[in-house]
Amino acid sequence: MVLKPERMVRVRILAANSRKKQIISALHNAEAMQMEPVSQDFSAYLSASSQDSTGSEVSDQLQRMRGFEAALPFIQPAGKASFSSTTEMIAKAKEIRIDDEIRMLKNSEEAVKADLRDIENRMSVVEVIRDLDYDMSIFNNPVIQSYLASEMGDEQAGAISGKIPGSIIVTVSDGYRIISVPPHSVQELAKAANELSIHLSHIPEVSGKPVEYYRILNEKMKEKLVSMEEINHSLKELSEKYYQIILQLREALEIESRKADLANHLLENRDVFAIEGWVPASRLDELDGTVNRVSEGMYILSHVETKEEPPTLLNNPKHTRLFEFFIKFYSLPQGTEYDPTVIFAIIFPFFFGLMVGDWGYGIIILLMSLWIIHRLDHPVTKSRIPHALSGFVLMIMKPGSLKVVARALIPGSIVAIAAGIVFNAFFGFQILPFTLYNPIKNIGKLLLFSGFVGIAMVSFGLILGIINEHAHGHNKGAIGKIGWLFLAWGITLIGLLMIYRSLSLSNPLSESTVAIALLIAGIVMIAATEKTQGLMEIPSIISHVLSYLRIIGILLASVILASVIDLIFEKGMAKSPVFAVVAVIVLIVGQIFNLAIAVFEPGIQGARLLFVEFFSKFYRGNGKSFKPFSSRRKYTVPYDSNKKD
């Protein structure tokens, strides 16, 4: 059923211990079963599984492969590997004997990096004093120790002089000073510098002129960089030789580790073991056939009766699946309730497009959406978009989410184009030779239309709620929903009668009598099922119906704002050239502003009308996603689970 998640069944597999590994591998490759603890009523007959020594070997080799992968530079594998068994994986992993070589290279790399950091620190200090024509031995000796202070003002220098008797402070250049103190005052200087937020760098204890020492440091830097290049070259050679198989083995061993972990947590006795979990009903026969094949018929698959809420696996038509993003953003449906994805996919674009109501804005939104999708699918190395703007957008929304939103706006923009043609609105201008429907002249009818949309959506939500409550055996809740439905229609009919005709109770079959009867029946049913809390929430049903008036309110706000901007433009163009320039600026800035509103306001309010006014009538959410026992494969393909290790 389109409006329902995939139906789940809980099953138990009881199979021969001799086929445990084959069955676990087959279940993993099938990606169709979410594992759960065996039910207590059955677990009393079994005990914990014995630990498999193979699992320890898998774990050891997995750690090795992960270490190699982290140490070596990345190289994209040319293809995917297939291993015939866990034994083959372990054997191939042991054949890679580069542990000592990588350890030596990484130790050398760390040592060179440490030397480079030390040289860089020394050069940053010596560079400041490079022009001083003194031997550097004068800065550090048994009498004084010297430090280079950066960003040090006169007040800070005075504070240092006052706190440390015998200190000497010499200005080298803007923001840099040399502080020399007796050796016994070094600790006191460090404390004072910390209190005054002064950064100190020790001047190297060497002899010779600063310029000469800087040259020596520069030569050492070049030597270390050459050493680093040699290390990187050696690591790259290892990577070219081993990286592909390391990645493939790492992935394969991770999968085997997951299987071993599951095997070690199963319940069993001497002859059989048990696995229990959730399976999509549509895949049960397929899974049954798979287990039958790999177990050679030595198994029993049975249904497990449970009142536990099943996990949720959404099952929507291909073209509406992108709207699952918005449903999950709100809350994933529970496995036994309605999935509103298809409803959202139909209603949201309609609300969005009607609120935009301008085919000029609709075209821009459509083109922007297509451009965003293309840009995300084909990223460029250098973008002309300001980094601050793109960074702000990506900070709010990840690229994947931004792409989903862009795709979701496409049908809405098409509806906006259609509505704009009907309203004859192109950036507020009426450029078509015909106007099928003028929203300004028909405000009353449009508001009435949005009211009917409101009562229809609220009623639809309540009907789904009634069916949902009844399906779960909550008849009291179903009666309460019926009460809310009666109340909504009673209030609506009374409102319509007050607008178009007077209320009259003289005829028992009149609309007035029906409206009052629905109102009273609704209040009685709500009071009987939801007590005082329900009665206190009665005004909310009115606000939920009237909330849909915002559809036309936002449309009119956009139309009127565009009309005002266009009017200013037309008046300005009719006056002097100076006014014409101002008018063009007003037109451009105003239309960009109105376009921004046309993107965000209909999107936010359209989603709100569904999330709040509609979903609240039937939707509970807080579902748990279906997570089958499986692994994502990038570098390997499954091996034959029927083949014994």
Q: Say what the pLDDT of residue 300 is.
A: 93
SS3 at position 187: helix
Looking up tokens 């570098």 gives 635
Radius of gyration of the chain (CA): 37
DSSP code at position 132: -
Element (H, E) at 275: strand 272-280
State the average pLDDT over residues 341-369: 94
Gap between the Cα atoms of 24 and 86, Å rounded:
13
Q: Is the pLDDT of residue 160 over 90?
A: no
Q: How far apart, in Å, are the Cα atoms of 175 and each of 61, 130, 141, 170, 505?
A: 55, 16, 25, 11, 91
DSSP code at position 636: B
- Lowest mean pLDDT, pick from 95-109, 164-178, 195-209: 164-178
Cβ atoms 220, 119 nearer than 8 A = yes
Which has the closest alpha carbon to 262: 44, 32, 22, 24?
A: 24
Gap between the Cα atoms of 163 and 191, Å rounded:
10
Q: Say what the pLDDT of residue 270 is.
A: 84
State the average pLDDT over residues 543-549: 91
Q: Say what the pLDDT of residue 392 is.
A: 62
Gap between the Cα atoms of 91 and 66, Å rounded:
16
Q: Is the pLDDT of residue 118 over 70?
A: yes
Alpha helices in 397-510 (DSSP H): 399-423, 443-471, 475-500
pLDDT tens digit string along 266-304? 888 888 999 999 999 999 999 999 999 999 898 999 999
State the average pLDDT over residues 445-465: 92
Q: Is the pLDDT of residue 628 over 60?
A: yes
Which has the closest alpha carbon to 306: 339, 267, 335?
A: 335
Element (H, E) at 179: strand 176-181
Q: Is the pLDDT of residue 130 over 70?
A: yes
Q: Say what the pLDDT of residue 197 is.
A: 87
pLDDT category, 237, cuts 50, 70, 90?
Answer: very high
SS3 at position 16: strand
pLDDT category, 377, cuts 50, 70, 90?
Answer: confident
pLDDT category, 638, cuts 50, 70, 90?
Answer: confident
Gap between the Cα atoms of 271 and 325, Å rounded:
46
Q: Is the pLDDT of residue 134 over 90?
A: no
Q: Say what the pLDDT of residue 342 is.
A: 93
Looking up tokens 């004068």 gives 138
Burial of 515 (0-12, 13-18, 19+ CB in 10 A): buried
Q: What is the dihedral angle through the alpha carbons of 150, 154, 160, 162, rounded to the nearest 10 degrees?
A: 170
Alpha helices in 472-576 (DSSP H): 475-500, 511-536, 538-546, 550-574
H, E, C per residue of 285-344: HHHHHHHHHHHCCCEEEEECCCCCCCCECCCCCHHHHHHHHHHHHHCCCCCCCCCCHHHH
Cβ atoms 262, 629 nearer than 8 A = yes
Q: Strand 272-280 and strand 267-268: pairing? A: antiparallel
| Six-digit token string for 638 | 């499954």
Q: Is the pLDDT of residue 506 over 60?
A: no
Cβ atoms 322, 369 nearer than 8 A = no
Phi and psi dihedrals of 97, rounded to 5?
-105, 70
pLDDT tens digit string along 381-440? 666 666 666 666 666 668 888 899 999 999 999 999 999 999 999 998 999 998 899 998
Q: Say what the pLDDT of residue 565 is.
A: 92
| Six-digit token string for 428 | 């507020």
Domains defined for the chain, CATH in brackets: 8-49+265-303 (3.30.70.120), 116-218 (3.30.70.250), 318-617 (no CATH)
| Mean pLDDT for the chain overall | 89
Gap between the Cα atoms of 613 and 604, Å rounded:
13
80: amino acid identity, one letter: K
Instruction: Please work out, in degrees rounded to the nearest 5, the angle formed at the alpha carbon of residue 353 by the alpha carbons of 348 and 358.
Output: 170
Beta bridge partners of 227: none
SS3 at position 645: coil
Gap between the Cα atoms of 264 and 48, Å rounded:
8
Gap between the Cα atoms of 517 and 522, Å rounded:
8
* pTM of this structure: 0.77
Q: CA quadruple 504, 510, 512, 516: dihedral positive or negative?
A: positive
Beta bridge partners of 176: 150, 173
| DSSP string across 61-105 | HHHHHHHHHHHSPP---SS-B--S-HHHHHHHHHH---HHHHHHH
Instruction: Please work out, in degrees rounded to the nearest 5, the angle formed at the alpha carbon of residue 394 by the alpha carbons of 392 and 398.
Output: 155
SS3 at position 137: helix
| Six-digit token string for 413 | 């923009």
Q: Strand 145-150 and strand 199-202: pairing? A: antiparallel
Cβ atoms 608, 329 nearer than 8 A = no
Rounded to 10 deg, the angle between the 387-396 and 399-423 helix axes is: 100
Cβ atoms 161, 167 nearer than 8 A = yes
Cβ atoms 350, 415 nearer than 8 A = yes
Gap between the Cα atoms of 204 and 191, Å rounded:
21
Neighbour tally for 304: CB within 10 Å: 17
Phi and psi dihedrals of 150, rounded to 5?
-105, 150
231: amino acid identity, one letter: I
